[in-house]
Amino acid sequence: MPELILCGAAIFGLLYEALAPRTDRRWHLALALAGLGAAALATFPLWHWAGHSTVMAGMVAVDRFSVVSRLVLLSIAAMAVLYATHYMARSGDEIRGELYPLLLFATAGMTLITAAADLIVVFLALEVLSLALYVLAGISGRAASTEAAMKYFLLGAFSSAFFLFGVAWAYGATGTTKITAIANELAGRTGSQAIALLAFAFLAIGFAFKVAAVPFHMWTPDVYQGAPTPVTAFMSAATKTAAFFALIRVFDVSFQPLTWDWIPVVWVLAAITMVVGSVLAIAQSDIKRMLAYSSIANAGFVLTGLTSANAIGIRSAMFYLIAYAAMTLGAFGVVMLVSAQGEEQTSLVSYAGLSRRSPLLAGLLTLFLLSLAGIPPTAGFMAKVGVFGAAIQAGYWPLTVIGVLASVAAAFFYIRVIVLMYMQEPQGVQDEDRTVLLRVALAIPAILTLVLGVFPGLLVGVLEKASILRW
Amino acid sequence: MTNHLLSIVTFLPLAGVVVLLLWRGATDNASRVVGLLTTIATFIVSLAVLGRFQAGNPAYQLVERATWVKGLGLEYLVGIDGVSLWMVLLTTFLMPLAVLASWPIDRNVRLYMAGMLTLETAVLGSFVSLDLLLFFLFFEAILVPMYLIIGGWGGERRVYAAIKFFLFTMAGSAFLLVAILILYGKAAGPLGHGTFDIRALTAVASGLPATTTRWLFLAFFVAFAVKVPLFPLHTWLPDAHTEAPTAGSVLLAGVLLKVGAYGLIRFNLMLFPDASKYFATFVSILALIGIVYGAVVALIQTDIKRLVAYSSVSHLGFVVLGIFAFTSQGVSGGVLQMVNHGLSTGALFLLVGMVYERTHTRDLTKMGGLARVMPWLAGAFLFTVFASVGLPGLNNFVGEFLVIIGSFAVNPWFGAVAATAVILAAIYLLWSYQRMAYGPVREEHTHLPDVSLREVLVLAPILSLLLVFGVYPRLLTDRIDPTTSAVIAHVDPAHATQVGPVTGLAAASPGATP
């Protein structure tokens, strides 16, 4: 139901853009926010859904897991819409009005992928969101943006092919593509599960690309850097969340009977992702690329939480994703405000002395960077404790040691930015943005980061109920 | 109200932070006053804590407990005992003095004061937490304000020193987090659910196999050894101390280093007593190396702040040596030395800062004859030097004496080596004082002002305590001894005695009066 609303709003937006003589951004904004709001309203009653666990002939699941994911994704989309409006208003880029409908389509795909109960639906939703994202990445007229879109499209097409291949193998192994039915089929089997494991491998490759796990992460720095910043923020927060939620559903439900086979895979992926992401970020001189590598490392941390293939692991991963969404939206929001004269200002040099020019922005960015590094009392710290705790409870403490060491390495480049902002003189004269509306909008991730850091219990209770995936 | 004294003490500085952050237009003086008032208020509340503390009771007192995250078994659990009581008081006592000493700072005063107050909350929280994750949270939270204070208002190489400090400490505590989470997971078995409560975890840890406890001990140990600092993890200290602004050095030496030693007592000894005994010789040797190494390197320094920094390494080696002797004299001496070192080294850094403000150099070869120019300042400096050397009648003597006796009982060689370090301390401190205060006066130093009223207000409280605690250490030990006896009984029942070491030695030690 919420997806229908979103798609409807998106189609209205497209029509408006196409048919109206002179489009006004504010109508687009209003329509997009109305669509998102209506979808959210449609989602709330689903929390107490007492009917059948899947609808539409078993294609779409209705459970608390999907309610949480929908609400998270809708909020991220709302923030992205606000960012995009502001970005278009003041930057020199010629961004077309189709951005809003595309964002809505992408969000619809994302919410659908987290609620899918059938692998075919997962693939369908994956395509919907990916296609929308490819266009969004290239929606600015700059060469870097178009290049980013091409790269994303080519690599994404490959990974979608892998994913579909995996779906085919899963069908071949079990005779069905429904997520829960696959689990039922695999549960009773003994002996070699080669075909099912192959299916798992291909599906994992497809997912790993979307969440930017090493070694499928190559697209991330270029795409994040080239795309317009609000799109980057949306991609970083929402795509990861959606892809991970879908991954959880597929790994932990479909392949639940094979956990002992695939946990080592996740272990290795998590370890190398955390290390590579943290280490490579140290060498970066552009803040968007740095944040791209940090998002890679953070994907590794979520994978660490998932090595414990039970409700505790799922809960810690969900908490981390929500906390991460807040941090990354906030960080990219500040990046957008600092690089006011167009995208060239994303080099780290332009952050020198930011504390003198704009103490508020410097303070906000410090908060988000500290949260990304995992320093108390921020949400990032609680999230890291959660995923490390889950991994340790499953007995994988060497992975946790790797994780904390990667965190320390990561802290180095976060601190470097903070040092630049506070302890060095501003170079040149830059005139960054001073819009009040957006600073107020940035307050939301900031408050969330602090509140979740001190009172994580507010969210943990909800997530406990949501992390039990109903069959 | 009285039930929540510890929480009030811990979070009162944050109230000051909120005021400072919201009051955008605060002038420099207004910020300084806010900082001063907040720290004085915190000190007064901590005196109430002192008043409520029952001297003979070794258990945790003033305990407050509230569920924080139910799903994880995480609690807001605070309490104090004989060891942490004096740590809290040391912190709240040094903070107003540090704020007063920071008066000359004129850049971004508002942020500076906010940083100091945040640091105070983080340190106080570390000392009173009885929930392991809460402790870890406060422990890590110390890093950021200290890093900003060093990096933002420090000397020339401040950025390098600040980053080194941050990364060293964070790397150490990385292992601490893993160990805490492992303990939490192990608790889930016998207790049915995970917990971070220290008291419950003590019982859990005693049931673990020996190899596990030894690894856990090492993980905890690394984190605290970086903070103390223990050789060979001490290399961050000289840079951090030298480059920090005066108040930063005072707090770093006076309080932050104590968090490491406190952690060793509270966690390593209490949670892993058998592993502590297993590693005792190893740790004691590291401590001894630190004592001698710190003293020897201090001898060759010409930068007076770096000299005091190395002397801190040396003195804190005494603390760790005493703690791991597991005798009542040793442990009580170690705790006593924690307090006394905080006072004496804090005073030293304050005085060094005052000299620096006047001469704008820390190089001893460029100073001389200052006793003639600033007699009162030099006199205070001499007094503090005597205290730091361990002159009987002043505070460090009692602590060092007890530690030497305590470790002598374990191994005569330990005591002997530690005693030689006292001689080395006398050499480097007195020699540096001589280079600074006596001899020919330089041209540019002939018209330097003597102590101002503000500086007298800063120095008088601390110097008087140096004397009071030297002459009447019972004030401190009456509350420390029951707890340390309990600690020793937990770790090594063979050495436990009921008589406090100071009262036991009352007849013999020359300076103490009953």
Do the chains contact at A422 and B68, CB–CB below 8 Å?
Answer: no
Between the alpha carbon of residue B482 and those of residues B5, B44, B82, B501, the distances in Å are 22, 25, 7, 11
CA angle A455, A459, A462 (to 5 degrees): 145
Mean pLDDT, to the nearest integer, of A83-92?
A: 70
pLDDT digits (tens, 9 = 90+) for B151-171: 878 878 888 888 888 888 888
B412 Cβ contact list (under 8 Å, min separation 6): none
Q: How confident is the model at residue A52 (pLDDT cuts 50, 70, 90)?
A: low
A327 Cβ contact list (under 8 Å, min separation 6): A368, A371, A372, A378, A379, A380, A445, A449
Among the listed residues A227, A198, A206, A69, the one whose alpha carbon sits nearest the alpha carbon of residue A133: A227
Secondary structure (3-state) at B76:
strand
Do the chains contact at B143 and A370, CB–CB below 8 Å?
Answer: no
Among the listed residues B168, B176, B280, the one whose alpha carbon sits nearest the alpha carbon of residue B229: B168
CA A71/CA A325 separation, integer angstroms: 12
Q: Does A412 touch chain B (CB under 8 A)?
A: yes
CA A128/CA A366 separation, integer angstroms: 35
CA distance to partner chain A, nearest, from residue B461 (Å):
34
Q: How confident is the model at residue A341 (pLDDT cuts 50, 70, 90)?
A: low
In A, which residues are within 8 Å of B68 by CB distance? 455, 457
Q: What is the β-pairing status of strands B74-80 and B61-69?
A: antiparallel
Tokens of B281: 């010789």
Among the listed residues B178, B168, B266, the one whose alpha carbon sits nearest the alpha carbon of residue B216: B178
What pLDDT sits at residue A425? 67
In A, which residues are within 8 Å of B7 by CB distance? none
DSSP code, position B1: -
DSSP code, position B74: E
Substitution target in B14, B17, B69 with the highest count of A β-carbons within 10 Å is B69
CA B98/CA B103 separation, integer angstroms: 9
CA angle A389, B60, B500 (to 5 degrees): 125
String of DSSP letters for A207-241 = HHHHHT-TTS-THHHHHHHHS-HHHHHHIIIIIHH
In A, which residues are within 8 Å of B136 by CB distance? 376
pLDDT digits (tens, 9 = 90+) for A390-418: 888 887 888 888 888 888 888 888 887 88
Q: Is the per-residue pLDDT at A147 higher than 80?
A: yes
Domain count, chain B: 1
DSSP code, position A192: -
Tokens of A417: 């930015």
Q: Is the per-residue pLDDT at A272 higher than 50?
A: yes
Report residues of chain B scoring pLDDT below 70.
1-2, 69-73, 188-195, 493-514
In A, which residues are within 8 Å of B70 by CB distance? 457, 460-461
pLDDT digits (tens, 9 = 90+) for A99-134: 777 888 888 888 888 888 788 888 888 888 888 888
Do the chains contact at B174 and A423, CB–CB below 8 Å?
Answer: no
Q: Is the per-residue pLDDT at A23 higher than 70?
A: no
- Look at A192 and A248; give whichever has higher pLDDT: A248
A15 HSE (CA, 13 A, CB side): 7
Mean pLDDT, to the nearest integer, of A311-317?
A: 82
Lowest mean pLDDT among A243-247, A310-314, B38-42: A310-314
Among the listed residues B347, B332, B300, the one whose alpha carbon sits nearest the alpha carbon of residue B482: B332
Per the domain annotation, does B129 fall within a domain? no
Burial-class residue A38 by CB neighbours within 10 Å (0-12, 13-18, 19+): middle
Tokens of B187: 């608790």
Burial-class residue A348 by CB neighbours within 10 Å (0-12, 13-18, 19+): middle
Q: What are phi and psi of B393, to 5 degrees?
A: 100, -20
In A, which residues are within 8 Å of B71 by CB distance? 315, 457, 460-461, 464
Q: Is the per-residue pLDDT at A43 higher than 80?
A: no
What pLDDT sits at residue A436? 66
Residue ranges of chain B whose CB lies within 8 Å of a chain A CB: 68-72, 133, 136-138, 140-141, 143-144, 147-148, 151-152, 158-159, 162-163, 166-167, 170-171, 174-175, 177-178, 181-182, 184-185, 188, 194
pLDDT digits (tens, 9 = 90+) for B300-310: 888 888 999 99
The number of C-beta contacts closer than 8 angstroms across A and B is 88
- Look at A439 and B214; give whichever has higher pLDDT: B214
Secondary structure (3-state) at A116:
strand
Do the chains contact at A408 and B171, CB–CB below 8 Å?
Answer: yes
Most confident of A297-301, A408-412, A461-465: A297-301
B379 HSE (CA, 13 A, CB side): 9
pLDDT digits (tens, 9 = 90+) for B258-274: 998 888 888 888 888 88
Per the domain annotation, does B475 fall within a domain? yes
Mean pLDDT, to the nearest integer, of A239-250?
A: 86
CA A159/CA A206 separation, integer angstroms: 5
Per the domain annotation, does B340 fall within a domain? yes
Residues A351/A338, Cβ–Cβ less than 8 Å: yes
Q: Is the per-residue pLDDT at A21 higher than 60?
A: no
Domain containing residue B506? 284-514
CA B360/CA A307 separation, integer angstroms: 57
Q: What are phi and psi of B78, to 5 degrees?
A: -130, 155
String of DSSP letters for B198-227 = HHHHHHHHHTS-HHHHHHHHHHHHHHHHHH
Nearest CA in chain A to B68: A457
Residues B316/B228, Cβ–Cβ less than 8 Å: yes
Which among A411, A412, A423 has CB closest to B159?
A423
ipTM given for this complex: 0.79
Per the domain annotation, does B342 fall within a domain? yes
Lowest mean pLDDT among A155-164, A279-288, B59-68, B140-149: B59-68
pLDDT digits (tens, 9 = 90+) for B60-97: 777 777 777 666 667 788 888 888 888 899 999 999 99
What pLDDT sits at residue A121? 85
Nearest CA in chain B to A393: B185
Which among B141, B152, B181 has CB closest to A392?
B181
Provide the residue ranges of all domains of chain A, joining segments of one domain with +. Answer: 2-466
B214 HSE (CA, 13 A, CB side): 8
CA distance to partner chain B, nearest, from residue A24 (Å):
38
Do the chains contact at B174 and A405, CB–CB below 8 Å?
Answer: yes
- Within A114-165, strands assigned E span none
Between the alpha carbon of residue A74 and those of residues A34, A63, A269, the distances in Å are 11, 17, 29
Nearest CA in chain A to B151: A423
Tokens of B138: 């406060």
Q: How many CB atoms lie within 10 A of CB B22?
A: 8
Tokens of B16: 């000051």
Per the domain annotation, does B502 fall within a domain? yes
Nearest CA in chain B to A462: B71
Do the chains contact at A423 and B167, CB–CB below 8 Å?
Answer: no
Among the listed residues A312, A122, A295, the one whose alpha carbon sits nearest the alpha carbon of residue A211: A295
CA distance to partner chain B, nearest, from residue A233 (Å):
26
CA distance to partner chain B, nearest, from residue A234 (Å):
29
What pLDDT sits at residue A471? 41
